[in-house]
A and B are shown apart, each in its own frame.
Chain A
Amino acid sequence: QLQLQESGPGLVKPSETLSLTCSVSGGSPSPNSHHWGWVRQPPGKGLEWIGTLYHSGNTNYNPSLKSRVTISGETSKTRFSLKLTSVTAADTAVYYCARHGCVNGVCYTWYFDLWGRGTLVTVSS
């Protein structure tokens, strides 16, 4: 069964760059079909969509983060990454990687049908 796993530093200093990787394992990730994304949840708050990596390699970012975010992926589609620059305490959150779902064999960037467990990243000096 396909699984997603986030990895990366749990502590990042203010003004530095947050870097996370999502590893896809346990089955065929359908490299030519699915799109992938990142979502975060600050402590005590709701979920926030960060951005999406299309299977083509194109990206779409939340405008509120667009100037600081880069999402990229390996051509094998078994890993993809998130970079968020110039972080502040407001970027402290649980970061999830997730897969966008498909309907009748066609994959869209609509909802997320598979998620990782999430990883807490704290921004603090």
Chain B
Amino acid sequence: EIVLTQSPGTLSLSPGERATLSCRASQSVSSGFLAWYQLKPGQTPRLLIYGASSRATGVPDRFSGSGSGTDFTLTISRLEPADFAVYYCQQYSSSVRTFGQGTKVEIK
């Protein structure tokens, strides 16, 4: 099973700032088979990024994903109020799909 470790656990930032979220895998995630999701209380989880760097339909271009192998990053270039949420990475390189433990982006 591939274990995903996200850091930091919590990111305290102000609107307009840049957010950089990390997802590190315990073994190589082949072909960039990594996705990012946004979760907000009471709302449906939202797919942001798949294939490590491809934005899902309707996702603003301030969200970008990068990385390969064992190190992946989600960047939010300029935080908007709607972006304060919890973000999870998920790998689909192995037959057992696993998620990271999440990074909370909170308003400073």
Chain A residues close to B by CB (< 8 Å): 4, 39, 45-49, 52, 60, 62-63, 96, 98, 101, 103, 108-118
Residues of A within 8 A of B33 (CB): 110
* A100 nearest CB neighbor, chain B only: B92
B residues contacting the other copy or chain, number (CB 8 A): 24
Q: Is the interface of A mostly helix, strand, loop or mixed?
A: strand
Q: How far is the CA of A41 from the CA of B12 in the complex (A)?
A: 23
- B18 on interface, CB distance cutoff 8 Å: no
Q: Given A46-B99, A49-B98, A96 and B35 touching (CB < 8 A)? A: no
Given contacts A109-B92, A115-B44, contact A47 B99 (CB under 8 A): yes
Tell me the chain B residues, 1-54 only, with Cβ under 8 Å from chain A: 1, 33, 35, 37, 42-47, 50-51
Q: A46-B100, A101-B50 are in contact. Are A110 and B35 (CB under 8 A)?
A: yes
Question: How far apart are the CA atoms of A64 and B45 in the complex, in Å?
Answer: 23
State A93–B37 Cα separation when bound (angstroms): 18
**A45-B101, A46-B101, A111-B90 known; A60-B47 Cβ under 8 A:** no
Chain A residues in 8 Å Cβ range of B62? none
The 6 A-B pairs with the shortest beta carbon distances in the complex, nearest first, are A111-B35, A49-B97, A47-B99, A46-B101, A110-B92, A115-B45
Closest Cβ neighbor of A47 among chain B residues? B99
